Amino acid sequence: MTVKKTFPKILWLIFSSSIFFILLYFALFYYTKKAEKQVYKDTVEQFDKRIDELIHLESKPILVSINNDTNWDEFVDFTITKDKNWFIETIGNELDIYNADYLGAYGADKNFIIRVPTPKIKTIDFIPKDEMELLNKVGINKFYMKIPEGVVEVTGAAIHPSDDPLKKKTKASGYFFVVRLIDTSFIKDLDKATMATTAFLETNQSLPKEKNKIHSVYKLRDYKNNEIGALVFKRDFDVYFENITNIMYVIILFFIINLIVNLIYTRKLVYYPLDLVRRALESGNRKAIKELKNTTGEFSHIGNLFEENSNQKIELIKAKIKAEEGDRLKSSFLANLSHEIRTPMNAINGFTELLLNTGTTEAEKLEYLNVIEKSGKNLVGIIDDLIEMSKIDSNQLTPNLTVVNLESCINELYETVKITIKNKDIDFKLIQPKRPAKFNIITDDIKLKQVIINLLTNALKFTERGSVTFGFEIDEENELINFTVKDTGLGIDEDNHKNIFDRFKRVDSDISIKVGGLGLGLAISKAYVDLLGGTISLDSKVGEGSTFYFSIPLKYSVVEHITVKQINNVEIQKSEGETILIAEDDNINFLLFQKMMQNKNYKIIRAINGQEAVDICLNTPNIDLVLMDIKMPIMTGFEAMEQIRPMRPNLPIIAQTAYSSSEDKIKIEEAGFNGYLTKPLNREHLFEMINTYLDKENYNEI
């Protein structure tokens, strides 16, 4: 009887325990599902917020650049003159800066003026006039619209003078638009920026449902705020709760055994990790995230996701701070660039106007012309530095290694610089090495010379009196050539040492402002030294002077020493009526050639493009010499050269070009030109070239 009475109690206990545990488990299951939804919701919200921040950050450079361009007085003048060449050469070259597919300008009457597109966009005029009305109110606006090529992102701004930075005081002089086509390339850039999979969604398309994925939808609206489509960003959401369902079946099957086990481990396996998830979601508690990582199963993966998200937030903040600092430095650099360019231009324009419109003596004319020449050289130097810095940034520079007599190279530099400072109260010395190089060395002599000249120029700029010395020593043991440039000038504060080779940071002082310049010399020097496989450093104290050290690898070429020939003044020979073809599309440059040669007996023929130069050379056998511009319409100088040379192999052809880097010179030589002239033209060098190649006997031996 006792057994009979006890058995029902045991069964009841087992039944009641199982019911209680099953109900408890379902309660846990419900709570887990609720937590899953909360995790998913919070993750989607964070994803949406991050996408908005990244898209805003991606658009910021365009907004900054378009604001700078449309607050430019020269742009205002363009809307009046409608000088398309100015727009193409000045604004059209900024396609890469904007990373855009179309740059378009409209007048104050909202009529289309000009566009500069990439091959992606062929539509010419598609900006709504209502949008331009809106720009009169808001100044700058970004919107989306559909054109035959697809959906495009349009950033527009009203053009105003520079004294109206808020674009509110004056009526808009015109309108400028930057357009980017939302195509495969655009989508790939967004993929990289957001680290998600991006797709374009039409207005009538529904968002596809995918398991274990989170989506963020960025709606594309036109200037009337109507939705025309959307960008969908998709990312994996690897949070799984199926294991809990499987455990439920196991518990139901073995509830007596697992009841006790589940009561013990539920808190450890479910409640505690979920509490850590909650704490991590609510406050981003790093301790909770760390403990969550140390748990087992999917919660450990969630902990890794939380940590990754937290680290990404920190990196994003750092990147934002760095980007803002970069924008500030670039803005400062551009402001300085504008000042440095306008200063010589002001002198050139001002003194030219004085020469043209005022009565001046011969002495005053000579003085004005000297100022114009000096300002022009300063302007060319600034442009050369900018071009060289651009090539460095785009990794277009490669060392052109040649055999160099190091002692002759350094002595030549010393004599050249010494002549330029003969009017300064400075003791300029070349320190001879203790051990000269045993043989000629292998290096890029052009870049080596440029580094030394840049360092010497800086030393001489910032030394009003005292001494400037330079020299080198051979380190056979470490296979290095160690160069030193030392001055007793202004010196550099120690806080600025770390920034001295940064192209966007210039150490400003009264003397640096006085001597001017962009401060790119040291940045270019460091890039050249790095290119040659060396290192550069400095030691400087304020008031005591500076010493720059740089080293390059020592590589011997066991050949006889090279004798460096000095360049003598050119003696202009008498001309004998030879025929010279000048291929030049620019009227002012052609006029300069005419004026330079007006006292000679040359017969001048002009070609205004490459095709015309080819036709004249092939149909006019009595041409003795060709001065060929490299950049011309219809056919470039290189293309014209390819057609002329097979038919006229003995005709001297000299390139005239605005390009001046060593890489450009090598390209010109490889194309088969007999020589080259760089712009601005040097009259002495011009006649040296003409004399060389019009001397028939000597030319046949060249």
Contact 506, 500 (CB under 8 A): no
What integer is the mean pLDDT of 169-195? 85
Which residues make Cβ contacts (< 8 Å) with residue 209, sequence separation at least 6?
none
User: Which of 65-69, 109-113, 560-564 comes out lowest in average pLDDT?
Assistant: 560-564
The 3-class SS string of 581-649 reads EEECCCHHHHHHHHHHHCCCCCEEEEECCHHHHHHHHHHCCCCCEEEEECCCCCCCHHHHHHHHHHHCC
Residue 106: C-alpha distances to residues 82, 93, 172, 479 (Å): 10, 18, 11, 62
CA 365 to chain CA centroid, Å, is 42
Residue 206: C-alpha distances to residues 45, 217, 677 (Å): 20, 11, 64
Summarised one tens digit per residue, pLDDT across range 269-321 is 555 666 666 676 766 667 777 777 777 667 677 777 767 777 777 777 777 77
State how far the Cα of 508 lies from the Cα of 405, in Å rounded to an integer: 38
Per-residue confidence (pLDDT) for residue 262, from 0 to 100: 56
What confidence category does residue 31 fall into, taking pLDDT thresholds of 50, 70 and 90?
confident
Per-residue confidence (pLDDT) for residue 240, from 0 to 100: 54
- The SS3 call for residue 680 is coil
Per-residue confidence (pLDDT) for residue 252, from 0 to 100: 60
CATH architecture of 402-557: 2-Layer Sandwich (3.30)
State how far the Cα of 652 lies from the Cα of 675, in Å rounded to an integer: 9
What integer is the mean pLDDT of 530-558? 87
What confidence category does residue 577 fall into, taking pLDDT thresholds of 50, 70 and 90?
confident
Residue 184 has pLDDT above 60, yes or no: yes
State how far the Cα of 472 lies from the Cα of 342, in Å rounded to an integer: 39
Per-residue confidence (pLDDT) for residue 575, from 0 to 100: 45
Residue 323: C-alpha distances to residues 328, 330, 625 (Å): 8, 10, 54
CA 513 to chain CA centroid, Å, is 26
What confidence category does residue 628 fall into, taking pLDDT thresholds of 50, 70 and 90?
very high
CA 131 to chain CA centroid, Å, is 31
What confidence category does residue 412 fall into, taking pLDDT thresholds of 50, 70 and 90?
confident
CA 306 to chain CA centroid, Å, is 35
Which residues make Cβ contacts (< 8 Å) with residue 152, sequence separation at least 6?
101, 102, 121, 144, 145, 146, 179, 180, 181, 182
In this structure, are strands 545-553 and 535-541 parallel, antiparallel, or unpaired? antiparallel
Which residues make Cβ contacts (< 8 Å) with residue 149, sequence separation at least 6?
120, 121, 122, 123, 181
User: 550: buried, middle or exposed (CB in 10 Å: 19+, 13-18, 0-12)?
Assistant: buried
310-347 per-residue burial string, b: 16 or more CB within 10 A, e: under 16: eeeeeeeeeeeeeeeeeeebeeebeebbeebbeebeeb
CATH superfamily of 51-236: PAS domain (3.30.450.20)
Could you report how far apart the first and last alpha carbons of the chain are, in Å? Answer: 130
What confidence category does residue 565 fall into, taking pLDDT thresholds of 50, 70 and 90?
very low
pTM of the model: 0.37
Residue with the bigger pLDDT between 261 and 523: it is 523
Q: What sign does the dihedral 317-322-328-330 (CA atoms) show?
A: negative
Contact 396, 527 (CB under 8 A): no
Summarised one tens digit per residue, pLDDT across range 475-523 is 888 889 999 999 988 888 777 777 677 655 555 554 444 444 445 677 7
CATH classification for the domain delimited by 579-701, as one of 3.30.43.10, 3.40.50.800, 3.40.50.2300, 3.40.50.720? 3.40.50.2300
Residue 97 has pLDDT above 80, yes or no: yes
Contact 452, 484 (CB under 8 A): no
User: Which of 164-168, 451-455, 650-654, 670-674 comes out lowest in average pLDDT?
Assistant: 164-168
State how far the Cα of 206 lies from the Cα of 47, in Å rounded to an integer: 20
Contact 522, 501 (CB under 8 A): yes
| Residue percentage of the chain with pLDDT more than 70 | 73
Q: Strands of 197-201's sheet, edge to edge?
A: 197-201, 227-236, 213-221
What integer is the mean pLDDT of 139-165? 88
User: What DSSP character marks residue 518?
Assistant: -
What confidence category does residue 23 fall into, taking pLDDT thresholds of 50, 70 and 90?
confident
Give me the residue spans of the domains in the chain. 51-236, 402-557, 579-701
Highest mean pLDDT: which range of 58-72, 146-160, 651-665: 146-160
Residue 245 has pLDDT above 50, yes or no: yes
Where do we find the tokens 């979920």? Answer: 274
State how far the Cα of 184 lies from the Cα of 134, in Å rounded to an integer: 30
User: What DSSP character marks residue 332?
Assistant: H
User: Which of 15-19, 51-55, 97-101, 593-597 comes out lowest in average pLDDT?
Assistant: 15-19
Per-residue confidence (pLDDT) for residue 191, from 0 to 100: 82
- The SS3 call for residue 267 is helix
What integer is the mean pLDDT of 237-263? 59
Per-residue confidence (pLDDT) for residue 331, from 0 to 100: 56
Q: Which two tokens stand for residue 230?
A: 């959307």
Q: Which two tokens stand for residue 530?
A: 């790095």
- The SS3 call for residue 54 is helix
Per-residue confidence (pLDDT) for residue 53, from 0 to 100: 81
Beta strands in 346-477 (DSSP E): 402-404, 426-431, 440-443, 466-475
What integer is the mean pLDDT of 679-688? 80
Per-residue confidence (pLDDT) for residue 576, from 0 to 100: 56
User: Which of 78-87, 136-145, 384-393, 643-652 comes out lowest in average pLDDT?
Assistant: 384-393
Residue 220 has pLDDT above 50, yes or no: yes
* Rounded to 5°, angle at Cα 88 from 83 and 91: 100
H helix count then E strand count, the chain: 22, 21
Of 486, 496, 494, 495, the closest CA to residue 541 belongs to 494
Per-residue confidence (pLDDT) for residue 437, from 0 to 100: 82
State how far the Cα of 306 lies from the Cα of 80, in Å rounded to an integer: 57
Residue with the bigger pLDDT between 559 and 520: it is 520
Q: Strands of 150-159's sheet, edge to edge?
A: 112-117, 102-107, 174-181, 150-159, 140-147
Q: Strands of 426-431's sheet, edge to edge?
A: 426-431, 466-475, 480-487, 545-553, 535-541
User: Which of 377-391, 403-417, 632-646 comes out lowest in average pLDDT?
Assistant: 377-391
Q: How many CA atoms lie within 13 A of 519 on its CB side?
A: 21
Residue 155 has pLDDT above 80, yes or no: yes
Residue 263 has pLDDT above 60, yes or no: no
Per-residue confidence (pLDDT) for residue 679, from 0 to 100: 74
For the chain, state the CA radius of gyration: 36
Per-residue confidence (pLDDT) for residue 514, from 0 to 100: 44
Question: What is the full DSSP assignment across 107-176?
Answer: ETTS-EEEEEE-TT--------HHHHHHHHHHSEEEEEEEETTEEEEEEEEEE--TT-TTS-SS---EEE
Which residues make Cβ contacts (< 8 Å) with residue 664, sequence separation at least 6?
657
Q: Which two tokens stand for residue 564?
A: 């460096």
Per-residue confidence (pLDDT) for residue 62, from 0 to 100: 85
Residue 656: C-alpha distances to residues 373, 630, 666 (Å): 20, 6, 14
User: 505: buried, middle or exposed (CB in 10 Å: 19+, 13-18, 0-12)?
Assistant: middle
